[in-house]
Chain A
């Protein structure tokens, strides 16, 4: 299997889908001439031209709306936000226009659009550039929310998102673009709404997604080596629709669960996961479920404070030892 970066895996997905379907186009700030703020769209302008790789002004509300309007009449836009921090300006179009159009038109107007771009904290970018928005979007009926952790998932999920007839919010990890991984050759599709067991285990289920997968993988390795705890890693991949079956199946096997996410704790993704498990798998649980989240603060600039605000390997290990009654 060829090895690709997360960035190139996304690039290949875009390229393949644009080749496959002439209605697919990419629009956003710096996607064309500049080749993408994070170079995800590298080379696409050269291949597909200005008609299909559209550089926009800095006008998030405006171009998100243009994307939704184009989708209303049958195009399949991929709208790139330079980062999802700026998508807050487009929240009205994503929530009030894209998510609700099918419903309030009595089923007449589907919105096949993908809103994509990096989310979550990078390094020392400060409060306004470092936040995870999964739960904001996942709250909204009508939206699907995807957050891949690996290059293979990034490619396969983006292709599915583009082919989906609903608005999909596709959150990439700003810190993941350079990570490498094997990506199957040829047509590689990962269905939306399916979680993935990234590591099989028997003592505890650790639920994660996107960037926290690498934190959890390190924690699982250490738990195995130093604490003889066998952790199963469940990567959600899609936040909405949530793969309830996979959660229940894993917890039924391990009887314990820790949920890890980068976002803020209050009304976070983990809160929803815990709710599902306590209802659907209550009898399987041998301990309360614990959550590891980002700190409940705006992201500080200082390097040490920033580290303290993110989910860490140690926090995951502590939580797992607690639910397995080792600590």
Chain B
């Protein structure tokens, strides 16, 4: 197995940066809790996949990107949108299907878009967006700019042909792409070991002669640094990277699923929760004397207020007009 990349010690001068990461993770956590609540109340419909437990992955990696880079996500993308700076109001309004949502209420939880931020969508066919990210990387190379295209997908997607086809072309054509696998061990109720002939996803990169790294996804700083290395490789060397980020989802696959059941035990979930990335970062900050419990509470109050504002905004927002039904089928 490739060694797991973890973090070096904290740098006092970067306190503002650490605080920013912590705030984003806390915002996503509170946002997702609220989304879960709204789902239970029937305010959010369809499938709704929460990101609780995996916050460090989106937050750490997106912090390593530039504003003009492209981001392509799966359907578990609320956290990525928030980390990219899409307003929590616009994301929540989209979950509620309102006209003020970031996809005008026509995308829903699985299809969040904000082109102004290079946020190119949540996509709901497992693996299908991986070639799309390769296409964005192709366009970057075609135009000769130094942007980067990053793609987030789950470990279950690597058994899909689209993954293989996309990575092969990215390596063949030397495209500035980062394929970030969020290995949360399960695709719905199927453990990685029951679906994949090899358990070490980073190893798959050798099929394409691609750089790979395995990262502790519960450590936001480790994720950030590994992504920075991949970004550097893409921007300067014009080469793709496969990042395997080891993480865990604390909730069920979607809001319709129980947290544990036939496929994983309560004990396993509880054990993983001890690795929660939010207290993880806070305790390091506290230990180094960079942040107090009091400051943490203040930060929490701040994100709770932001989420409350988001849900009120979403609830008060108008439904899309009926004439929207036939809008945007064709340009």
Q: Answer yes or no: A102 CB below 8 A from chain B CBs.
A: yes
Known contacts A62-B165, A65-B130, A75-B142, A106 near B135 by CB under 8 Å: no
- Complex contacts, B121 vs chain A, CB 8 Å: 101, 104-105, 109
Question: Is A214 engaged at the interface, CB distance under 8 Å to the other chain?
Answer: no
Determine the chain B residues whose CB is within 8 A of the CB of A142 once the complex forms: 329-330
Residue in A67, A70, A165 whose Cβ sees the most chain B Cβ within 10 Å: A70
User: Chain A contacts of B132 at CB under 8 A?
Assistant: 65-66, 68-69, 72, 97
Cβ-based interface call for A286 (8 A): no
User: When A and B form their complex, what is the total count of cross-chain residue pairs whose Cβ atoms lie within 8 Å?
Assistant: 139
Q: Does B111 contact A105, Cβ atoms closer than 8 Å?
A: yes
Contact assessment for A70 and B113 in the assembled complex, using a CB-CB cutoff below 8 Å: no
Residues of chain A within 8 A (CB-CB) of B101 are 106
A18 to chain B minimum Cβ distance, whole angstroms, is: 13
Query: If A66-B166, A67-B135, A97-B128 touch, does A102 touch B330 (CB 8 Å cutoff)?
Result: yes
Q: A73-B120, A106-B101 are in contact. Are A66 and B106 (CB under 8 A)?
A: no
Shortest Cβ distance from residue B110 to the other chain A in the assembled complex, whole angstroms: 9
Q: Contact at A108–B103, with CB atoms within 8 Å?
A: yes
Docked pose: A59 CA to B331 CA in angstroms: 28
User: Which of A51, A59, A68, A166: most chain B CB closer than 10 A?
Assistant: A59
Type the 1/0 row for A67-101, where 1 means its CB is closer than 8 Å to any CB of B: 11111111100000000000000001100110001
The proximity string for A residues 29-69 relative to B, scoring 1 for CB distances below 8 Å and 0 otherwise, is: 00000000000000000000001000011010111111111
Does A109 contact B113, Cβ atoms closer than 8 Å?
yes
Q: Is the CB of B136 within 8 A of A73?
A: yes
**Chain A residues within 8 Å of B104, by CB:** 106-107
Whether B128 lies near A70 (C-beta < 8 A) is: no
Identify which of B135, B136, B330 gathers the most chain A CB atoms within 10 Å of its CB.
Answer: B135
**B188 adjacent to chain A (CB < 8 Å):** no
Q: Does A25 contact B (CB under 8 A)?
A: yes
Please give the distance in Å from B225's CB to the nearest CB on chain A. 27
Give Cα A62–Cα B173 distance, bound, in whole angstroms.
13
- Among residues of B, the one whose C-beta sits closest to the C-beta of A101 is B121
Q: How far is the CB of B210 from chain A (nearest CB, A)?
A: 15
Closest-by-CB residue of B relative to A71 is: B135
- Does chain B have a CB within 8 A of A103? yes
Chain A residues whose CB sits within 8 angstroms of the CB of B328 once the complex forms:
102-103, 106-107
Complex Cα gap A147–B2 (Å) = 52
| Nearest chain A CB to B323 CB, angstrom units | 13
CB-CB < 8 A to A65: which residues of B? Answer: 128, 130-132, 134-135, 162, 165-166
- B166 contacts A62, C-beta separation under 8 Å: yes
Please give, as numbers and ranges, the residues of chain B lying within 8 Å of A57 by CB-CB distance: 165, 168-169, 172
CA A175 – CA B108 in complex, angstroms?
Answer: 45
On chain B, the residues within 8 Å of A298 by CB distance are none
Q: Is the CB of B113 within 8 A of A66?
A: no
User: Which residues of the partner chain B approach A74 to less than 8 Å between Cβ atoms?
Assistant: 139
Chain B residues, Cβ within 8 Å of A68:
131-132, 135
Determine whether B305 belongs to the interface, using a CB cutoff of 8 Å to chain A. no
Report how far A69 CA is from B328 CA in the complex, Å: 19
Bound form: Cα–Cα A142–B327 in Å: 11
Point out the residues of chain A lying under 8 angstroms from B4, CB to CB.
none
The residue of chain B having its C-beta at the shortest distance from the C-beta of A64 within the complex is B131
| Minimum C-beta distance from A65 to chain B (A) | 3
A279 to chain B, nearest CB (A): 19
What separation, in Å, do the CA atoms of A148 and B111 have in the docked complex?
35
B161 at the interface (CB under 8 A from A): yes
- A118 CB–B CB distance under 8 Å: no
A69 adjacent to B134 (CB under 8 Å): yes
Interface residue B138 (Cβ < 8 Å from any Cβ of A) = yes
Tell me, in angstroms, the Cα distance from A112 to B149 when the chains sit together. Answer: 20
Known contacts A92-B128, A107-B327; A66/B105 CB under 8 A: no
Q: At the interface, yes or no: A110 with Cβ under 8 Å from chain B? A: yes
Per-residue interface assignment for chain A, residues 284 to 312, with 1 indicating a CB less than 8 Å from any chain B CB and 0 otherwise: 00000000000000000000000000000
Query: B131 touching A66 by the CB < 8 A rule?
Result: yes
Among candidates B136, B327, B331, residue contacting A70 with C-beta atoms closer than 8 Å = B136
Q: State A231–B129 Cα separation when bound (angstroms).
A: 49
Instruction: Report the separation of the CA atoms of residues A51 and B140 in the bound assembly, to the nearest whole angstrom.
Output: 12
Question: In the complex, what's the smallest C-beta–C-beta distance from A73 to chain B, in angstroms?
Answer: 5
Residues of A within 8 A of B128 (CB): 65, 92-93, 96-97
Q: How far is the CB of B86 from chain A (nearest CB, A)?
A: 12
Question: Cβ of B172 and Cβ of A61 under 8 Å apart?
Answer: no
Report A191 CB to chain B, min CB distance, Å. 14
With CB as the reference atom, state the residue of chain B lying closest to A142.
Answer: B329
In whole Å, how far is B104's beta carbon from the nearest beta carbon of chain A? 3
B248 interfacial contact with A, CB 8 Å: no
Q: Which residues of A contact B65 (CB under 8 A)?
A: none
> B70: which A residues are within 8 A, CB to CB?
73
* Besides the known contacts A69-B149, A104-B107, A109-B121, 6 further A-B residue pairs in the complex with CB atoms under 8 A apart: A61-B161, A69-B133, A69-B138, A70-B138, A97-B129, A102-B330
Chosen A-B contacts, 7 in total, with CB atoms closer than 8 Å, are A65-B128, A65-B131, A70-B135, A75-B138, A75-B139, A97-B128, A102-B329
